[in-house]
Structure 1
Amino acid sequence: MADHMKLDGDWPALTWPLPLKEALAQQTGESLAQTARLLLIDDWKNERDKDKLIGGLLPVLADYAAESTRLWDEERWALIRRLVKNKGLIADPPESGPIAYYLAERGIAFPGEINGKKSLVMPAELVERFAKLEDLSGTPAQVKRNTEHIKLTQGLLYYYGVLEESELEARLIALTGETPEDGPNMFEVLVDARDFRAMYDFDEDALYANLDVEEPQELLRIQQARKELPYREFTKAELLKAGEYEYVERTKAHQELAGFLAREYAVDKDEADTIAEICADTFKNGKSMSAAFEILQFEFSIEDAQTVEEVGDLLARLNNGTRSWVLKGHRPDELNIVMGGGIPSNVLAMPQRSHQADVISIQTGRKIGRNDPCPCGSGKKFKKCCGAVGD
C-alpha cells in the first residue's frame, strides 16, 4: 500500500470544496502512479513524472473511479452516498485509517483537516461524477451481490482457515447459484475488498487465508493430508453471519473462560473476551493447550495449584468446543459423531509438523497420553486409535 500520508500524525490542511488538481498535487509521483494502477488507467500506470501524471489523470480519474464501484460492497457504497450527500465532506470519519487509505490510494477522497477538524474530503469533480451514478439513492443489485460474495468468503475462511482459489470459487458458486459470468469476476471483487478492510489475505499461489492463520501453506498441507475427513458443511446463513466484520463465535466455553478472567482478575469484560478469543485462535491453529496456558500465564501469572487446575479445565472445554482449522471446521468434541458416520479412526492423525494439537479429555481436563484409553470408546489405546500417526 502506498503511503499517501501518515494518519497517526498531523493531517494536512485541505480546502473545501476541494479541487481535484489540488488534491493530486499533494501526492507523490509514486502514489499517483499507484492510483493509476488501482483504477486500471493503463496509459499512466508506469509514468513517474508527477506533473505529467497530474495532467494525465485530471481529465479521466473521475470516470475511472466511478467505474471502480462495480467491485464495491454495501459499506463502500453507503460511504460514497454519504460523501455525495454532504457535498464531499465527512467530519470526524469513523475508522478513518483504513477507509482513508483505501479511498486516497484511488484518488476518491482524502483525509485532512478542514478548519482544524479531521475530515474525509472528496474532490469536487468526483462529487459531481459520483452524483450521476445509477441507483445512487438505493443499492444496486451488483453491490448486493458483491457484499454477499465477500461475506461468504470471510465466513468460509473463518471456519476453514484456508481455501485454494478453485475450492473457494466452487463453494461460492454452490452457495449463490451464480456463475462467474453473472457479473464482475468474483475474484476481482475479493481482491479489491482485501484492500479495503477484509478479514482475509491471499498469497502468490492464490491461497486465501483468514488473517489469524499463522502458517497458511502449512495449514493447507495438514488439511490435504486428512483426505478421509470431509469439510464440516455450514449453511449460507451461518457463513453470512460469520462473515460479518470482526465476527467472533462466542461459544459457551469461550464465555466461561472470559467470565472467569473478568471475575478472578478484575479485568475489563472486553479485554477478557479478547484474551479468550486469542486462546481459541491458538486452538484453531492446531496448537496445544499448553500454548494457550502460556498466554494466560503471561497475562496473569497463574501460580496456585487450584487456579491452574480450574484454568486447565476451562481451556480443555474451549479446546474441545472450538472449530479447528486443522480439522476442517469441525470441533474436536463432534468428531466422534463424524467418525460414527464411517470416517476411519485414523482421520485424527496429525501430519508431522512443528506443533501438534493436544487432545484433551472433556471429563478430566487433562491431555490424553498416547498409552491412555482412546476417548472414542473403542477400548484401544489412544496411539493405536484416534492418535495413530499417519504415514
Structure 2
Amino acid sequence: MMMADHMKLNGEWPALAWPLALKDALMPQTRESLQKMARLLKLYDWENEKDKDALVGGLLPALADHAAESTRLWDEERWSLIRKLVKNNGLMTEPPESGPVAYYLAERGIAFPGEVKGKKSLVMPTELVERFARLEGLSGTPAQVKRNTEHIKLTQGLLYYYGVLEESELEARLIALTGETPEDGPDLFEVLVDALDFRAMFDFDEDGLYANLDVEEPRELLRIQQARRELPYREFAKAELLKAGEPEYVERTKAHQELAGYLANEYAVDMLEADTIVEICADTFKNGKSMSAAFEILQFEFSIEDGQTVQEVGGLLARLNNGTRQWVLKGHRPDELQMTVGGGVPSNVLAMPQRSHHADVISIQTGRKIGRNDPCPCGSGKKFKKCCGAVGD
C-alpha cells in the first residue's frame, strides 16, 4: 500500500498567541521544517539554508505571497478553511485534529495548531490574514478551485473502481470526462500531487502509477489488469465517479448490507462495526483474493465454529464477492461478467492470470492463512506484517 505519512495532533498542543506575528510563528520551528516550508512554497533560494536566523529572515518577506500563489492548486475544502480563518481574523477554535488538515497548513506556514487561552485552535499569522484577504474571489469559490475539486474527486472515483491507473491513462480519462485540455488551468498532476499532503485517497509511485490507498500491491495489480487484454475497463458516468470520489465513500451493495446485518444480529455488534468489517472483506475481493481470505477475517473477529454458521456466512460472502466491483476485473463485478460470457466477453477473462487467488464466481474455500501483505484482520488498515503479525517477529 502506498500512503502519505501524515502526523496527528496528539498529546500537548503548544501555547500560541493571537493575534500571531509570522516571525513568532516561524522562530519555534526547526530548521528542517523551515527548509521544507521553503521547498513546498517554491522559495528555492532558501530550501538549503542551514542558518536558522537567516532562513527565517529570508522567508518573512516572501512567504505570504508564495502561500497565496499556492492556492491555485487548492480544492474547495482548503479554500473553505482559508475563508473561515480570514473571516475570524486568523483564529479557528476546535479545528480538525487530523494531520491532513492542520499539518498541511502548518508545513506551508499558513496556519499553526496550538492552544489559545486553553482552547485548541488553528492560528493564521496576521501577515497571512492580510494577504489572503486580498485573494481574488475569496468571498465565493473561484472557478479554478471548483475545477481542481472536480479533478481530485474524479481521480479518486476512478481509482476507487479501477485501483490503479498509469499517468497517461488517468490524464486521458480526465480529459474525456471534463472536456478540458491540460492548457485550461494549472498542471493537472501538480494539483493531484499537492492534494496528496491534504486528504487525497490515492498515492503514486516514482514511475507515475496512481493507486487507491487500499491497493496492497499496485504494480502487481497493474500487471494483472494488463494481462486481461480482452477485458475493457468498465465505464462509469461522471456523476458515479464524483460520488465515489467523496471522502469515506463506500459502495454498499445489497450483499454488503445483508452481510453487515447478519453480523450485527448474530454477534451483537453495532451496525457501524459490522459495516466496517464487511468493507474490509470487500477490499480483499477488490485486491483479487480468494473468499477464504475474507472468511479468515470474519473467523478472527467472531470465532465462527458450527457448520450451519459456516454455511450461512459462506453464502453471504459469496454474494458479497460476486457483487463487488473488483480492481482485478477493471471495475466489473464477477456476476455481471458471468452474465455476459458468450455475449462478447471471453470466459477466460475471469481467470486470475498466473495467480492462485480467484476473482470469478466462487464457492467457499478454506485452509488459506492470511498473508504477510494482507490487510490485518484486526481492522487497523495496516498490513498484517506491520500490525498483529509483527508480534511473532
Name 1:269's counterpart in structure 2.
271
Q: CA deviation at 1:142?
A: 0.2
For each residue in 1:250-284, what CA deviation from the matched residue of structure 2 results, as whole angstroms up to 9, or x when unmatched? 00000011111111111111111000000000000
Map residues 206-355 of structure 1 onto 2, 5 A cutoff: 206-353=208-355, 355=356
For residue 170 of structure 1, the aligned residue among 148, 169, 172 is 172
Where do residues 378-389 of structure 1 align in structure 2 (5 Å cutoff)? none
| Structure 1 segments (4+ residues) deviating >3 Å | 337-341, 358-361
The corresponding residue for 2:380 is none
1:112 alignment partner, one of 111, 114, 121: 114
Work out the CA distance in 1 between the residues paired with 2:68 and 2:342. Answer: 54
Task: Tell me, yes or no, if the aligned pair for 2:8 and 2:99 is still in contact at 8 Å.
Answer: no
- Cα distance per residue 1:18-59 (max 9 Å; x no partner): 100010011100100101111111111121221111000000
TM-superposed deviation, 1:96: 4.0
SS of residue matched to 1:42: coil
Query: What secondary structure, in the 3-state scheme, does the structure 2 residue paired with 1:67 have?
Result: helix
Provide the C-alpha distance between the structure 2 equivalents of 1:287 and 1:213, rounded to a whole number of angstroms: 12
Q: Alignment length, in residue pairs?
A: 363
Q: Determine the C-alpha separation between the residues in 2 that align with 1:94 and 1:31.
A: 21
Please tell me whether the aligned partners of residues 100 and 111 of structure 1 are also in contact (alpha carbons under 8 angstroms): yes
8 Å CA contact 1:360, 1:366 repeated in 2: no
Check conservation: 1:150, 1:190, Cα contact below 8 A. yes
TM-score by length of 1: 0.90
* 1:2–1:105 contact (8 Å) kept in structure 2: no
CA distance in 2, matches of 1:178, 1:135: 22
2:9 aligned partner: 7
Equivalent position amino acid for 2:106 in 1: A
Partner residue in 2 for 1:359:
360
CA distance in 2, matches of 1:299, 1:107: 44
SS in 1 for 2:327: coil
| Higher mean C-alpha deviation, range 333-342 or range 284-293 | 333-342
**Greater CA deviation, 92-101 or 240-249?**
92-101
Amino acid in the other structure paired with 1:185: D
CA 358–154 in structure 1, closer or farther in 2 if over 3 Å, else same: closer
Does 2:103 correspond to 1:94? no
Q: What is the CA–CA distance in structure 2 between the aligned matches of 1:166 and 1:277, rounded to whole Å? A: 30
Q: Is the 8 A contact 2:351 2:360 kept in 1?
A: no
Native 8 Å contact 2:9 2:97 kept in 1: no
Distance 2:340 2:203 in 1: 30
| Residue aligning to 1:42 | 44
Gaps of 5+ in 2: 366-393
Normalised TM-score (structure 2): 0.90
Q: Which has the higher contact order (CA 8 A, sep 6+)?
A: 2
State, as a whole percentage, how many aligned pairs show the same letter: 81
Matched AA of 2:200: A
Secondary structure of 1:196's counterpart equals coil
RMSD: 1.6
Cα pair 1:282 1:291 within 8 Å, conserved: yes
- The CA distance in 1 between the partners of 2:125 and 2:98, in whole Å, is 17
Q: Distance in 2 between matches of 1:73 and 1:342?
A: 41
Which residue of structure 2 lines up, in the alignment, with residue 76 of structure 1? 78
Asked if structure 2 preserves the Cα contact closer than 8 Å seen for 1:2 and 1:34, the reply is no
- Would the aligned equivalents of 2:292 and 2:364 in 1 still touch at CA under 8 Å? no
Contact 1:254 1:276 in 2 (8 A): yes
Q: In structure 1, what residue type is equivalent to 2:93?
A: A
Task: Deviation per CA, 1:179-218: give whole Å up to 9, x if none.
Answer: 0000000100000011101100101111000000000000
The structure that has the greater radius of gyration is 1
Moved more, 332-341 or 63-72: 332-341
**Residues 161 and 327, structure 2, Cα contact 8 Å, conserved in 1:** yes
Q: CA offsets, 1:83-102, max 9 Å, x none?
A: 00011011111244320110
Match of 1:383 in 2: none
Give 3-state SS (helix, strand or coil) of 2:318's partner. helix
**Deviation by residue 1:136-181 (Cα, 9 ceiling, x = unmatched):** 0000000000000000000000000000000000000000000000
